[in-house]
Structure 1
Amino acid sequence: MPGTGGNGSVTRSTLRQQLADALRDEVLAGRLQAGREFTVKEIAEQYGVSATPVREALVDLAAQGLLEADQHRGFRVHEYSVDDYRGIVEARALVIDGIFHVLAGDRAGHRDPDDPRVRTAVAGVRRRAEEAQRAATAGELTVLIGYDLRFWRELGALYGNPYLADFLHRLRLQSWVCAVQHLRRLDDLRGHLWSLHTDVVDALLRRDLSAARSIIAAHDAGSLALIERLAAG
């Protein structure tokens, strides 16, 4: 992100979001590794901006669970343990299951999978699923993370509850932050990344809740086993 300290056209709230997005990407890409400490001044100098929007962006990321704030030493990239990852995976599975119930059922007429509006929305989610699947198959972790987060945010939005969608996004973001520190150890990620996003969408379109559940259960078990193995190794 280019320096914007002297650009009056960039509002503080916009700059705050840009900084948060840039630093989040740094963490997810593994360039800001778990346990890394830094100060507001360091980040402000790195991006050529004032301290205020940097501090606000760092506080936002701390609230999302990506950073830890220390009153005297600045901020540190949060270190998630395997137990943390296990708990996050369990929590996100419960949220996803609630979304599946709505998408695969008829509890509200405007959520009926046969409703053209819902089918149009799901078609968009499926396109995102295809992009995530291609990235996973190619072993492109950074690309996959971006598409995976968008896929689940869009799928979650179909639930009609923005609070639930935001909660799922936060959980998936935290799970990626935890997983990245281990996955980056592998030279070739092909065959290790989950690539069944389209299968989930297709199961929901068939109203096959059992199949959708099984796909996610297998995904959760496989990803947890992989992280446990990498952490132990």
Structure 2
Amino acid sequence: MKQGVQDSAGTRGDARVPAQQRAADVARERDPAAALPGVRGEHTHGEPPIPQPRLVQRSSVRGQVLDALRTALVAGELKPGEVYSAPVLGDRFGVSATPVREAMQQLALEGAVEVVPNRGFRVVERGARQLAELAEVRALIEVPVMLRLARTVPAERWAALRPLAEETVRAASCGCPATYAESDRAFHRAVLSLAGNEQLVQIADDLHRRAQWPLVGGPVRQRRADLVADAAEHTALLEALVARDLDAVRGLVGEHFTGAA
């Protein structure tokens, strides 16, 4: 006589496992992780779905386009007041309009361009007044920080920044404003990073980038002599910081900003 079990309705029947349960047991034996909730992508009750990451390739393309647009902006290839469409720029860079549009939106947030509905993006027109205002704000932020650093940072820490200062001289000698702009900002970021305030570095770098944009009616390219003279101020600044010559530091930084460096 077969041994039976009592089901929930009180009737007796064969002690057999339902087919679905048997299948689950087999799957569990083959892969124990299959029994865990949320494994293999199934969504359990009350558990938020796992967001899908953005494609790395697309982000990389957008970043490359953004760098190329910034270079073109500093080099004067994107002229103040002119409107540029994403499809046309996409053809220029050999990409679709989407990463160009995304990069341009970032430049709009930074204040370099403004959106023109149904047309594209207009490069912002700036004059000498806007440049002077940027120089004033930069001086208000950076001069006190550099004076404090001059009092506290040992000479060997400043000596470690000499290669960056020398790199700005080499970049200036090439005569390319975009190349010099990158090395110039790298030097200033390294100096300010010694203060240990990342927010300060980010804000100062944003102001510095804005100061490098071309002016309305200004030269398409900065003269090599101007770039070389500007780069020489980095070396002089390092020497003043090593010597803890506060008056020289104050004067050099103020002159540097006035020159829109």
Tell me how far 1:97 sits from its aligned partner: 0.9
Structure 2 residue 174 is the aligned partner of structure 1 residue 128: no
Matches within 5 A, 1:133-212: 133-136=169-172, 139-178=175-214, 182-184=218-220, 188-191=223-226, 193-194=229-230, 195-212=232-249
Tell me how far 1:171 sits from its aligned partner: 1.3
In 1, are the aligned partners of 2:165 and 2:235 still within 8 Å (CA)? yes
Tell me how far 1:220 sits from its aligned partner: 3.7
Structure 2 residue 58 is the aligned partner of structure 1 residue 58: no
Tell me how far 1:185 sits from its aligned partner: 6.0
In 1, are the aligned partners of 2:150 and 2:244 still within 8 Å (CA)? yes
Instruction: Pick the structure with greater CA Rg.
Output: 2
1:47–1:140 Cα change, 3 Å: closer
Q: Which residue of 2 aligns with 1:4?
A: none
Tell me how far 1:124 sits from its aligned partner: 3.8
Task: Give identity over the alignment, percent.
Answer: 33
Tell me how far 1:27 sits from its aligned partner: 0.9
- Tell me the SS of whatever aligns to 2:111: coil
Quick one: distance in 2 between partners of 1:209 and 1:147? Answer: 25
Tell me how far 1:140 sits from its aligned partner: 4.7
Structure 2 residue 141 is the aligned partner of structure 1 residue 101: no
In 1, are the aligned partners of 2:114 and 2:123 still within 8 Å (CA)? yes
Counterpart AA for 2:74:
L
In 2, are the aligned partners of 1:125 and 1:154 still within 8 Å (CA)? yes
Runs (4 or more) in structure 1 with deviation over 6 Å come to none
Tell me how far 1:96 sits from its aligned partner: 1.5
Counterpart AA for 1:25:
T
Q: Which residue of 2 aligns with 1:29?
A: 75
Query: What's the CA shift string for 1:187-218, capped at 9, x where partnerless?
Result: x5425742210111121122222211111223
Q: How many residues align?
A: 205
Quick one: distance in 2 between partners of 1:142 and 1:52? Answer: 25
1:139–1:51 Cα change, 3 Å: closer
Q: Which residue of 2 aligns with 1:82?
A: 128
- TM-score, structure 1 as length reference: 0.76
Quick one: distance in 1 between partners of 2:172 and 2:102? Answer: 33
Quick one: distance in 2 between partners of 1:89 and 1:103? Answer: 20
In 2, are the aligned partners of 1:16 and 1:56 still within 8 Å (CA)? yes
Counterpart AA for 1:81:
G
Matches within 5 A, 1:220-231: 220-221=257-258, 223=259
Quick one: distance in 1 between partners of 2:79 and 2:175? Answer: 20
Query: What's the CA shift string for 1:89-123, capped at 9, x where partnerless?
Result: 11111121132033123xxxxxx422xxx834x33
Query: What's the CA shift string for 1:36-63, capped at 9, x where partnerless?
Result: 2111222222223233322211111111
Structure 2 residue 94 is the aligned partner of structure 1 residue 48: yes
- Which 5+ residue runs of structure 2 have no aligned equivalent? 1-54
Query: What's the CA shift string for 1:138-171, capped at 9, x where partnerless?
Result: 7553432221111112222222112211111111
- Tell me the SS of whatever aligns to 1:75: strand
Quick one: distance in 1 between partners of 2:78 and 2:111? Answer: 14
Counterpart AA for 1:48:
G
Quick one: distance in 2 between partners of 1:26 and 1:17? Answer: 14
In 1, are the aligned partners of 2:76 and 2:221 still within 8 Å (CA)? no
Q: Which residue of 2 aligns with 1:67?
A: 113
- Tell me the SS of whatever aligns to 1:104: helix
- Tell me the SS of whatever aligns to 1:182: coil
Match of 1:119 among 126, 150, 156: 156
